[in-house]
Chain A
Amino acid sequence: MSLALIAALPFIGALLPGLMIRSGKNACALVTGSVTALALLMLGLNAPAVLRGEVVQTRIEWIPSLGLNANFFLDGLGLLFAGLILGIGLLIILYARFYLAKSDPMGQFYTYLMLFQGAMVGIVLSDNILLLLVFWELTSLSSFLLIGYWKHLPEGRQGARMALTVTGGGGLAMIAGMLILGNIVGSYDLSVILENKEMIQASDWYLPALILILLGCFTKSAQFPFHFWLPHAMAAPTPVSAYLHSATMVKAGLFLMARMWPVLAGTPEWFYIVATIGLITMVMAAKIALFKDDLKALLAFSTVSHLGLITMLLGFGTAEAATVAVFHIINHATFKAALFMSAGIVDHEAHTRDLKRLGGLRTLMPITFTIVTIASLSMAGIPPLNGFLSKELMLEEAAHTTWMANPWLIGVLATIGALFSVAYSFRFIAHAFLGPVRSDYPSKPHDPGFGLWAAPALLAGLVILIGLFPMLTAAWLVNAAASAVTGEVIAVKITHWHGLYAPALWMSLAAIGGGLMLMGLHPRLMALWNATPRPEAKRIFDGVVEPFAALAGRIANRLHDGALTRYIAIGVLGIVGVSYYAFATATHSAGTRDLMPIQPVPALGWFALCLATAAIVIYHRQRLLTLVLVGIIGLMVSVGFAYFSAPDLALTQISVEVATIILMLLALNFLPKTTPSESTPTRRTWDGAVAVTAGVAIAVLAFALMTRDQAFSPISEYHITNSKPEGGGTNIVNVILVDFRGYDTFGEIIVLGIAALVIFALTEALLRAGPANDRLLAWTPDQRRAGDRHPMMLVVATRVILPIALMVGFFIFLRGHNEPGGGFIAGLIVAIALVMQYMASGFAWTAARQKIDYHALIACGILVAAATGIGAWFNGLPFLTSAFGYFTIWPLEEFELATALLFDIGVFLTVLGAVMLALASLSRIGLRAGETVNVQPFDIDPSEGRTLNSGEVR
């Protein structure tokens, strides 16, 4: 369970920042950080077992029929990556707290960040490739949100789109590849797949699967030719760049290559695709990085280059090279994240990241300078820092690898890549920090507060520690991870000195010397670079994507032209057409069920209903009349329910009817009172034809249904038999609602509560400054007001009715389990009793006299219902199983108590709260439109003959 919990924690944590931001930024960051820290702690608890060589597993069946399990496992590789993701995530949360500006919505940022974190942890812990794919796509989506976090910047939006297109497209390819792989092996469990190397590599489908999976990895890890999205993703806030684009997400591709290494690597196809692409990426990106003036662009291309380096090492296919790859993943994460954060600090303080406008920051920002120097030297591969260690090992592996029978090609190219790497690292230090102090910085730079430099400083400390004591600080982790990658027991030996005869020494020296020379030549090379034409990746990308986007836009606009009436007509005709097709292509005979004879009184009700329906169509432009006619129809429907043995429905229908009509009347107050006649006769005829088609179709269907017996024996037999013995109630409908299908009811009261909250939120939005609010403030009633709007007779009558109505509600509620009634109906009755007080004396007057918060009422209702349901768990029964018993208290007769009653209280409270909140929202709009607040319960006191409520109080 604990592994699943580690993956789930960030997702749960994603809910918190949005809430905690109300308590301030510190609280928000603290809570977000604690969730990550907790996940890290739980990971740490599992670490000893993993380091001993065990594999920790959690197995949860999810959709077994699809082969989809929520299985997680933790081995050395997973431990390394999960540790990186959570550990650096913690530092990023700290850094972002101080990096984001006051105007940036911080809660949103942390929510996105936690979503991303959860998705990443999910990838590295998944033991099922389908589950892994789900998390994989989630990282693409969450990184889209993070890159586009500054929504007002076009670069941010475009960069986010490009990243999503490239990585999402690669993800699709990977899905195909993974499915092929699963098919070859016959299982989607990684642990099974990893044991079937021979079967996979012997399969004809090996190459397609390999290419498709690699497409996913290369797009995610920004390998040539898909590298172009990463520099554009730098439009994201720097914490995002540091987290996603150096330490974690771009390494997801590497992770997957490492994860699949045991079964996919070791073939010539793997070597030539992966090693070659990695080599090209490494050299090409390092060269471009040298010519970038933007600090983040320089770091972006440097990241691409280092990712290429690791890809190449994995591509070599030897256990030694894979071990070096793992080591470099750790080192790169430390120095590159520190550099990104430092670049962010420079940007934050000097308000520019352009190397042409920087220089001389050494004395102004000594702390930042120290951090950058340590991290940059490590990136350049200068001893004794950790970057040097892994670079030496890399050069050593490259020197011993033959490419197409050419023993020195890879070694030379790797040295050239390292040479560029040295050059751009030195350029980062020299052009930003060395040189004379300038007078024209956009903002006077100085070192930031501790909060901002703490995280990069910690990473820089790690760079030194791993550099000085690699065997103590890193070797154990490298061993565990590399053993997991290769499936062999690895015991790595990392030293600074490999002897004079090691080729790496000379390659390293060549790289450092050459790099320094390049630095010296930089101004001239830069001029040459600027003079040569280069393909602009963004323009090519836009050129490919734009036509598709335009086409999609045209199709969408053609289909969705915003005409609701057209959608409805198409929908109605479509449903009728499909139904008719089903009817016409099947065999059927006339119904055999006996028809009920027509009685005169029900026929009269039918006649009234038809008359009112026809009148609505004719008089629908007079809106008030329409409501009266709707009332008639509703009344006839409820009478019909009563006649056809459904007393509960009749009671519900009639009380809902009252509430609906009141609501619509209140709304009509602010809407035009008539509908203008604007459709042409042709249009009306057409609409009429559509409507009649639908009506005839449903009538025929209903008749056909009613004249036949059920095709299968209905499950309600069970309910009828067991209502009393199991549910303890004689009203079967109510027992179904609160017991047999209590789960449905529970969902439905939640929906009702949400609907009421939506209404409240809509009202809030309307009452905010804006055109709607202006219209309300300037409101003039379009109908003459009554002289006596709160008549005394009505006030007195409703006051007398109130206790009676409440008692009726209580009675209806209590008897609901055994007789028609229950929480739904009682809630509506009490709501109507309260609304009558509103109508009599005005909303504000009444609201001032009853201190009930309707939000709390809804929440209480749902919580009571949930608590009742959960109560069943303590008896070892499923959710919402009810219990009941019979009690006698003198002088009462024996009575029954059931937990279903508690559940019904929840229903009652929610219905009451929802109805009242909806009506109260409308009243608030009325108040804004100039409704006066009553100080007296009624307007005119006839005994004294004077007007009581005249004040124009808003």
Chain B
Amino acid sequence: MEALVSSAIGMMTAAGVYLMLRQRTFPVIVGLTLLTYAVNVFLFTSGRLATNMPAIYGEGAPGYSDPLPQALVLTAIVISFGMTAVIVMMALGAFLEAGHDKVDMNDEDTPTDGGQK
């Protein structure tokens, strides 16, 4: 199972990074979402894999999976939702302001001197 989980993490990371290297905002956001999945699952696996051992007290429980990474990942999931929402709005705002959804700045957008006087 470990091989499956780690290969899934790798797949999601690779796809996420590839999409983040695209030049339009939407694929970048989707790529970031994929990367978020990968990172969350990776953090989760730092508690090692276990089946049928939820971290809930029960009579005759064979043991408990590591609850700490789960708690951290839980908040990470919610925070990444907030982050995704902000980025989506920024992308939308950038598109509406500029009329295009490219992520790279054009050459004419780059200041040429050291700064303003």
Residues of A whose CB lies within 8 Å of any CB of B are 154, 157-158, 549-554, 556-557, 561-566, 568-569, 572, 593, 595-599, 602-603, 606, 609-610, 613-614, 616-617, 620, 623, 626-627, 630, 633-634, 637, 640-641, 643-649, 652-653, 656, 659-660, 663-664, 667-668, 670-672, 675-676, 678-679, 687-688, 690-692, 694-696, 698-703, 705-707, 709-710, 714-716, 719-720, 723-724, 730-733, 736-737, 741, 744-745, 748, 751-752, 755-756, 758-759, 762-763, 765-766, 770-772, 775-776, 818-820, 824, 828, 911, 914-915, 918, 921-922, 925
The answer to whether B51 and A553 have CB atoms under 8 Å apart is no
| A-contact 0/1 string along B23-44, CB 8 Å cutoff | 1111111100110011011101
When C-beta atoms are compared, the residue in chain A nearest to B67 turns out to be: A732
- Say yes or no: is B60 at the interface (Cβ < 8 Å to chain A): no
C-alpha spacing A736/B71, complex, angstroms:
7
The answer to whether A595 and B84 have CB atoms under 8 Å apart is no
B56 to chain A, nearest CB (A): 5
Q: List 18 A-B contacts (CB under 8 A).
A: A565-B103, A620-B19, A626-B30, A630-B33, A637-B37, A640-B41, A671-B91, A690-B18, A700-B10, A720-B55, A723-B67, A730-B57, A736-B68, A762-B86, A819-B56, A918-B82, A918-B89, A922-B92
The answer to whether A706 and B2 touch (CB under 8 A), given A613-B34, A775-B96, A824-B75, is yes
C-alpha spacing A106/B101, complex, angstroms:
38
The answer to whether A646 and B65 have CB atoms under 8 Å apart is yes
Q: Across the interface, which residues of B come within 8 angstroms of A613, CB to CB?
A: 11-12, 15, 34
The answer to whether B55 and A675 have CB atoms under 8 Å apart is no
Q: Across the interface, which residues of A come within 8 angstroms of B13, CB to CB?
A: 691, 694-695, 698-699
Q: Across the interface, which residues of B come within 8 angstroms of A667, CB to CB?
A: 88-89, 91-92
Residue of A595, A616, A733 with highest tally of chain B CB at under 10 A: A733
The answer to whether B14 and A755 have CB atoms under 8 Å apart is no
Name the contact of A649 in the complex, choosing from B20, B44, B68 (C-beta under 8 A): B44
C-alpha spacing A511/B46, complex, angstroms:
83
Q: Across the interface, which residues of B come within 8 angstroms of A715, CB to CB?
A: 68
Q: Across the interface, which residues of A come within 8 angstroms of B104, CB to CB?
A: 562-566
When C-beta atoms are compared, the residue in chain B nearest to A753 turns out to be: B82
The answer to whether B67 and A733 have CB atoms under 8 Å apart is yes
Q: Across the interface, which residues of A come within 8 angstroms of B88, CB to CB?
A: 663-664, 667
| A-contact 0/1 string along B53-78, CB 8 Å cutoff | 11111100000111110111111011
Given contacts A564-B103, A646-B70, A762-B86, 16 further A-B contacts (CB under 8 A): A565-B103, A617-B15, A620-B19, A623-B26, A637-B40, A645-B53, A645-B54, A645-B65, A646-B44, A670-B92, A694-B13, A699-B11, A702-B10, A744-B75, A828-B78, A922-B89
Name the contact of B5 in the complex, choosing from A557, A702, A719, A745 (C-beta under 8 A): A702
The answer to whether A687 and B82 touch (CB under 8 A), given A550-B114, A660-B33, A664-B29, is no
Q: Across the interface, which residues of B come within 8 angstroms of A599, CB to CB?
A: 1
C-alpha spacing A751/B2, complex, angstroms:
33
When C-beta atoms are compared, the residue in chain A nearest to B28 turns out to be: A564
Q: Across the interface, which residues of B come within 8 angstroms of A759, CB to CB?
A: 85-86, 89
C-alpha spacing A557/B113, complex, angstroms:
9
When C-beta atoms are compared, the residue in chain A nearest to B3 turns out to be: A703
Q: Across the interface, which residues of A come within 8 angstroms of B25, CB to CB?
A: 671
When C-beta atoms are compared, the residue in chain B nearest to A568 turns out to be: B20
C-alpha spacing A603/B106, complex, angstroms:
46
B34 to chain A, nearest CB (A): 7
Q: Across the interface, which residues of A come within 8 angstroms of B115, CB to CB?
A: 549, 553
Q: Across the interface, which residues of B come within 8 angstroms of A566, CB to CB?
A: 104
Residue of B24, B30, B80, B82 with highest tally of chain A CB at under 10 A: B82
C-alpha spacing A626/B55, complex, angstroms:
34
The answer to whether A640 and B75 touch (CB under 8 A), given A562-B110, A667-B92, is no
B10 to chain A, nearest CB (A): 3
The answer to whether A698 and B10 have CB atoms under 8 Å apart is yes
C-alpha spacing A702/B9, complex, angstroms:
8
The answer to whether A649 and B8 have CB atoms under 8 Å apart is no
The answer to whether B65 and A776 have CB atoms under 8 Å apart is no
The answer to whether A634 and B37 touch (CB under 8 A), given A598-B4, A663-B85, A732-B57, is yes
Q: Across the interface, which residues of A come within 8 angstroms of B98, CB to CB?
A: 771
When C-beta atoms are compared, the residue in chain A nearest to B30 turns out to be: A626
Name the contact of B67 in the complex, choosing from A569, A687, A736, A921 (C-beta under 8 A): A736
The answer to whether A703 and B68 touch (CB under 8 A), given A646-B44, A675-B24, is no
C-alpha spacing A756/B78, complex, angstroms:
12
The answer to whether B49 and A723 have CB atoms under 8 Å apart is no
When C-beta atoms are compared, the residue in chain B nearest to A594 turns out to be: B2
The answer to whether A703 and B22 touch (CB under 8 A), given A564-B103, A698-B38, A744-B75, is no
B32 to chain A, nearest CB (A): 10
C-alpha spacing A889/B113, complex, angstroms:
75
A880 to chain B, nearest CB (A): 15
Cβ-closest 8 pairs across A and B: A553-B114, A699-B10, A562-B105, A695-B14, A755-B82, A691-B18, A772-B96, A730-B57
Q: Across the interface, which residues of A come within 8 angstroms of B54, CB to CB?
A: 645-647, 820
Q: Across the interface, which residues of A come within 8 angstroms of B56, CB to CB?
A: 647, 730-732, 818-820
Q: Across the interface, which residues of B come within 8 angstroms of A633, CB to CB?
A: 12, 34, 37
C-alpha spacing A670/B25, complex, angstroms:
13
C-alpha spacing A692/B77, complex, angstroms:
25
The answer to whether B2 and A733 have CB atoms under 8 Å apart is no
A387 to chain B, nearest CB (A): 40
The answer to whether A706 and B96 have CB atoms under 8 Å apart is no
The answer to whether A716 and B2 have CB atoms under 8 Å apart is no
C-alpha spacing A554/B114, complex, angstroms:
7
C-alpha spacing A703/B48, complex, angstroms:
10
Q: Across the interface, which residues of A come within 8 angstroms of B67, CB to CB?
A: 716, 719-720, 723, 732-733, 736
A554 to chain B, nearest CB (A): 7
Q: Across the interface, which residues of B come within 8 angstroms of A659, CB to CB?
A: 81
The answer to whether B75 and A723 have CB atoms under 8 Å apart is no
Q: Across the interface, which residues of A come within 8 angstroms of B117, CB to CB?
A: 154, 157-158
Q: Across the interface, which residues of B come within 8 angstroms of A701, CB to CB?
A: 42
The answer to whether A732 and B101 touch (CB under 8 A), given A610-B8, A720-B55, A755-B82, is no
When C-beta atoms are compared, the residue in chain A nearest to B32 turns out to be: A568
The answer to whether A698 and B110 have CB atoms under 8 Å apart is no
C-alpha spacing A354/B40, complex, angstroms:
67
A301 to chain B, nearest CB (A): 25
The answer to whether A694 and B14 touch (CB under 8 A), given A630-B33, A640-B5, is yes
The answer to whether B78 and A911 have CB atoms under 8 Å apart is yes
Q: Across the interface, which residues of A come within 8 angstroms of B112, CB to CB?
A: 557
The answer to whether A653 and B92 have CB atoms under 8 Å apart is no
C-alpha spacing A558/B25, complex, angstroms:
23
